[in-house]
Amino acid sequence: MGKSITRHSSSFPSVTGTITRWRVPHFRQHVIAPYFSVRLLEQEAPLYTGNCLCGGIKFRIESELEPIQICHCSQCRQAQGTLFATNTPVSSAAFQLISGAELITSFESSPGKQRVFCSKCGSPIYSKKETLPGVLRIRAGLLNEELSVKPVAHFYTGSKANWWPISDDLPQFEEAYVPPNKA
């Protein structure tokens, strides 16, 4: 492996070498520096596979996963039929549909937000927002492999189900996370 590139004292190793990037203090968005150095693949990118309940939709993800976001908003609870949704953001470029394109359907749950699911079994696959182009929020429970990431925080706890207490030590946000400089 090559040496890390340092720019403004921030360098992060990547699977493809080392990319200089800055983490925006927002759990859903990353900015890659406009000028960076990437070495040729010296090892394979992580591969994750997933499928819906009926197996009609199959996909793969060829990238690292972002930490899991636990969303307690009423829309996620209703769309999942459970206490919360567990989402892991991935680049849409890393997502590859293997089979089931004819089964993919979507619903605009709020302006600019699409929830994508299987039309046969109803399994939610991912959501995407116009405000975050290129990012898919994959439902973590669909992935077949052991995940290298863990949950990072609970979001929209202000609208969580009142009959289930949150009993872990993860950070909790009553709404979406708002970076301090954006408040």
Clarify whether residues 58 and 123 are in a common domain: yes
The CA-atom distances, in angstroms, between 129 and each of 43, 117, 134 are 32, 15, 9
Q: Which range among 39-48, 52-61, 78-87 shows the weakest confidence by mean pLDDT?
A: 39-48
CA distance 90 to 166: 26
Instruction: Provide mean pLDDT across the span 33-62.
Output: 73
CA distance 9 to 112: 36
Clarify whether residues 36 and 84 are in a common domain: no
- The CATH code of the domain that includes 159 is 2.170.150.70
Q: Which residue has the higher pLDDT, 98 or 10?
A: 98
Clarify whether residues 108 and 150 are in a common domain: yes
Is the pLDDT at 77 greater than 60? The verdict is yes
Clarify whether residues 86 and 175 are in a common domain: yes
Clarify whether residues 65 and 138 are in a common domain: yes
Domain hosting 125: range is 48-182
Instruction: State the total domains in the chain.
Output: 2
Clarify whether residues 73 and 159 are in a common domain: yes
Q: Is 131 left (phi over 0), alpha (psi -120 to 50) or beta?
A: alpha
pLDDT score of 46: 76
Clarify whether residues 32 and 113 are in a common domain: no
Q: Is the dihedral of CA 129, 130, 131, 133 positive or negative?
A: positive
Is the pLDDT at 87 greater than 70? The verdict is yes
Clarify whether residues 93 and 29 are in a common domain: no
CA distance 42 to 86: 31
Is the pLDDT at 162 greater than 50? The verdict is yes
